[in-house]
Amino acid sequence: MRRSLLPTVVLACSLAVPALAAEPAKKLAKAPAKTICVNVKDGSKAVQGTNLVIEPGEKVKDAVAVDGDVIVKKGAVVDNDVAAIRGRVILEPGAKVKGDVVSVGGDVKVPAGAHVDGNATALGGKLQLDRKEDVGGEQVNFSLVFNGDDLVKEFIGKALDEDAGKCHILDDDDDGDKDV
């Protein structure tokens, strides 16, 4: 049985609440517009600073976008998980995800006819389901709004802004990761 990431993310967000409450509210700096990194070595796709579109008939292992949306088109299949950090996960009717779907700082949209075998989780965004039976696992929607600011989005934004402009690519053949 697969272990859920939700308890870890909720714990991290709850630890950040005191630090965020002590600082005055301010607008988050935007990440660079065109930092793009793609790794398709193991059948997975990952991007930063742009949208990731899984096209009809395409089959990928995992799909991840940072500062962008993951869009799974009709007829596309993701064998494991889909994740968007500061972006949305959008499935079209006829799309299939065999693992979990997670958005941190954005919405998850699962329309009628799309299917998620695992969990569907939106942290700091909205979980939009046309039919609950299209998600095989848990359905979680978590936002923590304080004085009009979503603290989950603030926490993720601060964490990502520290590394803005760099993309970390892990390569199984190398001893470590590379900053691009």
Q: Tell me, yes or no, whether 123 lies in a domain.
A: yes
Q: Tell me, yes or no, whether 11 lies in a domain.
A: no
The H-assigned helical ranges of the chain are: 6-22, 151-161
Contact 155/20 with Cβ under 8 angstroms? yes
Report the domain count for the chain.
1
- Identify the pLDDT of residue 162: 65
Q: Tell me, yes or no, whether 19 lies in a domain.
A: no
Note the pLDDT tens digit of each residue in 130-172.
999 999 999 999 888 788 887 777 777 777 666 555 555 444 4
DSSP label of 180: -
Q: Tell me, yes or no, whether 80 lies in a domain.
A: yes
Q: Tell me, yes or no, whether 155 lies in a domain.
A: yes
Note the pLDDT tens digit of each residue in 34-82.
555 565 668 899 998 899 999 999 999 999 998 899 999 999 999 999 9
- Identify the pLDDT of residue 63: 95
* CA–CA separation, 42 and 148 (whole Å): 41
Q: 5 or 119: whose pLDDT is higher?
A: 119
Q: Which domain covers residue 56, as residue numbers?
A: 41-163
DSSP label of 132: G
- Identify the pLDDT of residue 138: 96
- Identify the pLDDT of residue 55: 96
Q: Tell me, yes or no, whether 23 lies in a domain.
A: no
Note the pLDDT tens digit of each residue in 103-124.
998 999 999 999 999 999 998 8
Q: Tell me, yes or no, whether 103 lies in a domain.
A: yes
Q: Tell me, yes or no, whether 153 lies in a domain.
A: yes
For 157, the token pair is 């934004």
- Identify the pLDDT of residue 108: 97
- Identify the pLDDT of residue 151: 78
Judge residue 173's burial from the number of C-beta atoms within 10 Å of its C-beta, 0-12 exposed, 13-18 middle, 19 or more buried: exposed
Residue 178: which pLDDT band, with cuts at 50, 70 and 90?
very low
